[in-house]
Amino acid sequence: MGSLSPLSFLWGLLLLQGVLRPLRGDPVFIPPFIRMSSPEVRASLVGGSEDVTVSLTPLQIKEGVLPVPTCGGLRNETGDWNLTVSPQANMLEVTVRWKRGLDWCSPDETASFSEAPCIVQTLLVSASHNASCLAHLLIQVEIYPNTSVTHNASENMTVIPNQVYQPLGPCPCDLTAKACDIRCCCDQDCQPELRELFERFCFSGVFGGYVSPPSHHRCAARTTHQTPDWFPFLCVQSPPSTSPFLGHFYHGAISPRHSPGFETHSHLDLRDFFADASYKQGDPIMTTNGYFTIPQASLAGQCLQDAPVAFLRNFHSVCTTDLEVQERDRLIPEDMRIRTTGGLVTPTVTYEEATDLDKLITSPDTILSAGSAPRNVTVEEHYVFRWQNNSISSLDITIIRAEINAHQRGTMTQRFTVKFLSPNSGGEKEFSGNPGYQLGKPVRALHTDGMNVTTLHLWQPAGRGLCTSAALRPVLFGEDASSGCLLEVGIKENCTQLRENVLQRLDLLIQATHVARRGNSDYGDLSDGWLEVIRVDAPDAGADLPLSSANGMCPEVPTHVTIRILTAEAGAVEGEAQREILAVETRFSTVTWQYQCGLTCEEDKADLLPLSASVKFINIPAQMPRPTRFQINFTEYDCTRNELCWPQLLYPLTQYYQGEPRPQCVAKGLMLLSLLMLAILLRHPWVGMCKAWSSASIQH
């Protein structure tokens, strides 16, 4: 027993040493790799003792291969780098700094060099103890020229006038850049010919650009009332630029003092108080219960159930609703009253029954009959507003309903249209914009056989997605779209029949020979901006192709049509970009299709051939080419780039010197000139001239 206890003690001692050994680790740099983009960088050496030596070595990278890190590099080779080691608690802080500072890294005048880094190096920081390496820190240096530091002054001098006398926004009604704002006479973008059109209807007052209060004391004031006899002599004839209320916005606290005096004639503005229900374009239409709402598509694409209807904004929305969700508690159309000027408008409601529910309902189950538990759903709602001036005169509502089973599951497609008609729009065809196309409006087209009004179409399948039951919807300007349907193909059809059938389906979408260039092209005049539709690769229906193949395969079946529409911005009207169509191209794509049977080819079975159509709008930008970097401006006489400015030496005759306001320059020059003249006159130069003249006459 006595011999065992020293052995166990020895084992415990060995075990304790083994446990304590991993706690004393090697020193390590945190972080171990640094990407340096500023002139100074710091790292921490953790786990080292006091006698650790830190050194810095620039590495020479050869073909992207890092050399084996060696320890104990010579300190003399640090070059332009400065290494600082400062002891902290339980660690050493290592700082690497670039010695030359920022001035060494100044960009050149040419812009092409400022993109390249001016310092690209790799540094190795090593920690060693008694000539043995302990840790390494790799620093990748990439320092770019700092242009914001060296460019102290901007070369584009923006002269901001004194706000007291010239507000920064001297024309408050100038709301559109590079476009003439109508009735804004202080807008500098308005041409004189255009300004003459609305010169008598300019915005008056402060928001029309007249920052000074209007005064009827001016001689130029066009007074409508009778003026007193002394008015021609006591009227103010100084220009408005000397008004004491310049900078009315700037001071704010200054207000004109309209104290009543004898024989003061002030304008009495009779304000007309219009009715509350006067509508402007875009105003929401009001009913007796609040807003008049119809489901409309939002910008995100989903349908908003309670979107207000805007005055004079026609729309056509298609919404998909879940049949399991109960319809919203909508107002009964007969009880609705539209609020307008001069009273209320009672709408005229017409109901119709919808047929062919296969086109409307998409259901995983079969469509149940509505016999046992009927339920009415709204399929389509069409609203026609008739308006005059700023009021609504009548509203016609057409509701198309359908009876379905109350337990029917699936989704249903609903359509809502709102149209605004005026008494002047009797039988005219609708515009898609005036003159440019508006986004979301149908692309206007016509067929020269009979000059039929038509448009390009896409499918809108419902139910089982068959082509026979698919409806057509127009191609809308600016909206890329893609749609398709399924064509039933019988087993007895040969390839020629199939191709003819498919082409007939696809031609239904593009029954047009011409497309309108603008939104308001005249249908009766082909020379009024109508473009011929370019048809590419319309394949012949089996002229060179075999009737059928042994395996039931049909090559060259045109199953896809692509409509490409080139658009461009052709100018702007009142700041609105006007888009027009430059060209339209339709192109067919063919596939090799094979009839797919099941285990056995049955006679009455039919396979499905997918057809598709897509529309793509390609915008051609109208931009001026940007000037290249090789265009050098002549800057010898540019006063902002040279130290010597020749025109400034002619001060105060020229206006190049801007150190003082120009009136002060002229005043000082004139004072100097007057002093010079005074000095000349006080010396009596004519006395000398008389003496010289008299002496000359004496000599003669």
Partner 1 sequence: MAPRDKRLSSTPLEILFFLNGWYYATYFLLELLIFLYKGLLLPYPTANLVLDVVMLLLYLGIEVIRLFFGTKGNLCQRKMPLGISVALTFPSAMMASYYLLLQTYVLRLEAIMNSILLFFCGSELLLEMLTLATFSSMDRI
E strands, 422-552, in order: 444-447, 452-455, 457-460, 471-474, 481-490, 514-516, 530-532, 534-536
Q: Alpha helix (H) ranges present in 478-579?
A: 495-507
Report strand pairing: 606-620 vs 553-573.
parallel
Residue (291 or 686) nearer to partner 1, CB: 686
Q: What is the DSSP code (8-state) at residue 467?
A: S
Which string of DSSP letters, residue by residue, matches 11-60?
A: HHHHHHHHHHGGGS---EEESSEEEE-SSEEEEEEES--TT-EEEEEEE-
Structure tokens at 251: 């001071």
Q: Which two tokens stand for residue 555?
A: 């090559």
Are the beta carbons of 340 and 280 closer than 8 angstroms? no
- Alpha carbon distance 51, 213 (integer Å): 83
CA angle (84, 90, 95) in 5-degree steps? 15
Nearer to partner 1, 591 or 672 (CB): 672
The residue among 153 and 696 lying less far from partner 1, judged by its C-beta, is 696
Nearer to partner 1, 246 or 367 (CB): 246
Task: With residue 685 as reference, give the H or E element that holds it.
Answer: helix 685-699
Considering the complex, what minimum distance in angstroms separates the CB of residue 256 from partner 1? 4
Work out how close the CB of 272 gets to partner 1 at its nearest, in angstroms, rounded to a whole number: 28
Nearer to partner 1, 233 or 630 (CB): 233
231 three-class SS: helix
Tokens representing 403 are 């009876």
The least distance separating partner 1 from the CB of residue 684, rounded to whole angstroms, comes to 6
* C-beta of residue 222 within 8 angstroms of C-beta of residue 258: no
CB-based contact 484:459 (threshold 8 Å): yes
CB 208 to partner 1: min, Å: 19
Least Å distance between CB 237 and partner 1? 5
Residue 260 or 524 with smaller CB distance to partner 1: 260
* Nearer Cβ to partner 1 (62/225): 225
**Residue nearer to partner 1 on the CB measure, 61 or 219:** 219
Smaller CB distance to partner 1: residue 79 or 205? Answer: 205
Query: Taking a C-beta distance cutoff of 8 angstroms, is the pair 69, 124 a contact?
Result: yes
DSSP strand pairing (452-455 vs 534-536): unpaired
Q: Which two tokens stand for residue 600?
A: 């056995």
> What do you get for the CA distance between the two ends of the chain, in Å?
159
How far apart are alpha carbons 416 and 305 in whole angstroms?
11
59 with 122: CB under 8 angstroms?
yes
**Smallest gap, in angstroms, from Cβ of residue 316 to partner 1?**
57
3-state secondary structure of 290: strand
> Between residues 89 and 696, which has the closer beta carbon with respect to partner 1?
696
Q: Under the rule (CB under 8 A), what is the footprint of partner 1?
A: 213, 215, 217, 219, 232-238, 242-245, 254, 256-259, 261, 264, 674, 678, 682, 684, 686-687, 690
User: Which runs of consecutive H residues, i.e. helices, occur in 383-540?
Assistant: 495-507
CA atoms of 468 and 458, how far apart (whole Å): 14
Task: Answer whether 118's CB lies under 8 Å from 37's CB.
Answer: no
Closest by alpha carbon to 656, among 260, 157, 307?
157
Judged by beta carbon, residue 264 or residue 642, the one nearer partner 1 is 264
Nearer to partner 1, 132 or 238 (CB): 238
Per-residue tokens: 86 = 């400062």
Cβ(84)–Cβ(97) under 8 Å? Answer: yes
Residue 440, by phi and psi: left (phi above 0), alpha (psi -120 to 50) or beta?
left
**CA-based angle 272:274:277, to the nearest 5?**
170
Query: Nearer to partner 1 by C-beta: 242 or 366?
Result: 242
Q: CA-to-CA distance for 179 and 188, rounded, in angstroms?
A: 9
| Nearest CB to partner 1, comparing residues 299 and 687 | 687
Question: Least distance from C-beta 219 to partner 1, angstroms?
Answer: 6
